[in-house]
Homo-oligomer: A and B are copies of this chain.
Amino acid sequence: MSGGADMSGNPQPWVLHPDRALPAEPALRGLARDIYATTRDLPIVSMHGHVDAEVFAADQPFADPAALFVTPDHYLVRMLLSRGVPHDALGVPRRDGRPVTTDPRAIWRTFAEHWPLFRGTPTRFWLEHELAEVFGVRTRLGADTADAVYDELCARLAEPRFRPLALLDTFRIEIISTTDAATATLAEHRKLAERGWGERIVPTFRPDALLDTSSPDWPAELRKLGDVSTYDEYLEALRERRAAFKAAGARATDHGHQSADTTPLDIADARRLFQAALRRTITAAESAAFLANMLFEMARMSTEDGLTMQLHPGVLRDHDPAVRAARGPDVGYDIPVHTEYTRALKPLLNAFGHHPNLRLVVFTVDETAFSRELAPLAGVYPAMLLGAPWWFLDTPDGMRRFREAVTDTAGFANTAGFVDDTRAFLSIPARHDLARRVDAGHLARLVAEHRLDLDEAADTARALAYDLPRAAYPSPAPVSTVEPRPAGGAA
């Protein structure tokens, strides 16, 4: 980036370098630039997002730069926390209603003063892209320019072309999925469908709160599901919710629990544990076993209804209970743990891994699993695909390591393409752009080392950016009549 001063000390307008995040070596740079040029303008397929459906249904101007960029972004908040800036100063609300900073300009200034903390991080890459490319800001962010940038942003936000639905076009987002509780009414999606956005903004079925019987919130969640008093009714109600989501355009389910265990229970045990959960006498071990069983059942239902199943285990949520109590979830305190996949996914893959109707996309934040477990599994089971490097790994070096770790064994075609996985709507094009740049760099190296031809690299780059995510999240067919795998049959 530039944006400092020229030789004579005249300030230069801030412009991002067109080759940013491409390899430095000139021959690689040239190849990467050519490959990137073929994907830069492809539509965005955003099938694993966390933007609220309400944002699109209301289609109101974004409030202010702090509410847009700072307060809700846990990447950004956690970095400021780590160097001593308290949640209060960033406007993160307290559950007890005690006051926090609400002046957006003050929050923005605090952020801008700490901008150097983000050196070398993807947050910096994304933010710069958002400011310079999306908002056309020409003043480089810093403590001294906080107000000027703030004012520029406010002016932009007032323009109609910066409303959410208009930005969908600007960003060339072909389809975007929200993430919705299994018990969500989907009212916003209905509203959007009525206005013709139903194919483009789709829900995703996330039943975590209904499957985790260890949570104190589980009984309340279950009540939202309806009048359910047996395991069989519970399964049936889940099936009905999936059908409702599918009717509303959903193409996928999403499951984020600590373990990847998918061991099924005998039906009698499942029924017994469900009753214990209702009575709140279920033990922690039993809850874990019930959850594993339910992931197995979710896979079975995916073979029935064709919804792509997304699994991203391995995060210890709310590492600091005091923060959780004071601020709620998703404020930066989720920490990965070592995660096992080979044994954990065995029951699911043995039962459904060859089923023609299943697509299981598996993510990880434990990158040691990539070459050891995930690539070998995805490289043989037809139903399994590797999700993009996720969360803490959604970075230039993380994405490079992902390709280097999995391609040898799983190739490119067993990966599901990039997902942005973000609540920050404005960062979506930046995130896809960074992924396309990094993949272009990886492919450029293969070409330069004569391990791939340039035409193949360009074809592969397009697959990674567009074709593979489209194929991983197809519009599901009507309920399948494919029979479950007969013993030994799919082999």
Choice from B28, B79, B322, B380 contacting A487 with Cβ under 8 Å: B322
Q: Would you call A340 an interface residue if the criterion is a C-beta within 8 Å of the partner chain's C-beta atoms?
A: yes
Given that A83-B382, A368-B368 are known contacts, is A451 also in contact with B376, CB under 8 Å in the complex? no
User: From A3, which residue of chain B is reached at the shortest CB distance?
Assistant: B453
In chain B, what residue has the closest Cβ to A446?
B120
A319-B346, A320-B349, A451-B396 given as contacts; is B373 within 8 A of A336 (CB)?
Answer: yes
Partner of A336, one of B120, B376, B398: B376
A422 CB within 8 Å of chain B = no
Q: Are B349 and A381 in contact (CB under 8 A)?
A: no
- Chain B residue nearest to A414 (CB atoms) is B82
Please give me the residue from chain B that is nearest to A364 by CB atom: B372
Give the residues from 359 to 416 in chain A that come closer than 8 angstroms, CB to CB, to chain B: 365-368, 371-373, 375-382, 384, 392-393, 395-398, 401, 404-405, 407-414
A99 within 8 A of B: no
A326 interface contact, C-beta 8 A = yes
With the chains together, A343 CA to B319 CA distance in Å? 9
Take A338-B340, A451-B125 as given contacts and tell me if A392 and B371 are in contact as well, using a CB distance cutoff of 8 Å.
Answer: yes
Quick one: copies of this chain in the complex? Answer: 3
A455–B4 CB distance below 8 A: yes
User: Does A229 make an interface contact (CB < 8 A)?
Assistant: no
Beyond A378-B82, A455-B4, whether A23 also contacts B449 by CB under 8 A is yes
A414 to chain B, nearest CB (A): 5
- The answer to the question of A81 belonging to the interface, with a C-beta cut-off of 8 Å to chain B, is yes
In the complex, the answer to whether B121 meets A409 with C-beta atoms within 8 Å is: yes
In the complex, whether A316 has a CB less than 8 A from a CB of chain B is yes
**Contact indicator A343/B316 (Cβ below 8 Å):** yes
Contact indicator per residue, chain A 34-68, by CB within 8 Å of chain B (1) or not (0): 00000000000000000000000000000000000
The answer, among B365, B413, B459, for a CB contact under 8 Å with A83, is B413
A325 within 8 Å of B (CB atoms): yes
Q: Pick from A13-21, A158-166, A281-289, A293-301 the stretch touching chain B.
A: A13-21
Chain B, residue nearest A114 (CB): B413
Q: Does A105 contact B (CB under 8 A)?
A: no
Asked if B414 and A322 sit within 8 Å, CB to CB, the answer is no
> A443-457 interface mask toward B, CB cutoff 8 Å, 1 = contact, 0 = none?
001101111110110
Whether B413 contacts A319 by the Cβ 8 Å rule is no
* Distance (whole angstroms) from the CB of A314 to the closest CB of chain B: 8
Q: What residues of chain B lie closer than 8 Å to A446, measured between beta carbons?
A: 119-120
A321: interface (CB < 8 Å): yes
**A26 vs B26: C-alpha distance when bound (angstroms):** 10
Q: Which residues of B sit under 8 angstroms from A28, Cβ to Cβ?
A: 24-25
Q: Chain B residue with minimal CB distance to A448? A: B24
**Contact digits for A112-130, partner B, Cβ 8 Å, 1 yes 0 no:** 0000111111101100000
A483 to chain B, nearest CB (A): 15
Q: Select A449's contact among B21, B316, B395, B459, beta carbons within 8 Å.
A: B21
With a cutoff of 8 Å between Cβ atoms, the chain B residues found around residue A155 in the complex are none
Task: Give the chain B neighbours of A445 by CB distance below 8 A.
Answer: 24
In Å, the complex CA distance between A227 and B98 comes to: 50
A104 is an interface residue with CB less than 8 A from chain B = no
Judge whether B450 and A78 touch: CB under 8 Å: no
Central interface residue in A1, A28, A380, A455, by most chain B CB within 10 Å: A380
Q: In the complex, are the beta carbons of B491 and A87 less than 8 A apart?
A: yes
Residues of B within 8 A of A322 (CB): 350, 485, 487-491
- Which residues of A in the span 320-347 have a Cβ within 8 Å of any Cβ on B? 320-323, 325-327, 332-338, 340, 342-343, 346
Q: Is the CB of B380 within 8 A of A372?
A: no
Alpha-carbon distance between A120 and B86 when the two chains are bound, in angstroms: 46
Q: Tell whether A353 is near chain B: CB-to-CB under 8 Å.
A: yes
Q: Once the chains bind, are A325 and B22 in contact (CB under 8 Å)?
A: no
Contact A382 B119 (CB under 8 A): no
* 17 examples of A-B residue contacts, CB within 8 angstroms: A20-B449, A24-B449, A79-B411, A81-B380, A82-B381, A82-B413, A83-B382, A117-B411, A117-B413, A119-B412, A124-B451, A125-B451, A319-B342, A322-B490, A326-B488, A336-B342, A367-B372
Given contacts A17-B450, A116-B456, A121-B407, 7 further A-B contacts (CB under 8 A): A78-B379, A82-B414, A116-B459, A119-B460, A125-B451, A322-B490, A397-B408
Question: 5 closest Cβ contacts across the A-B interface?
Answer: A24-B448, A395-B408, A20-B450, A17-B450, A326-B491
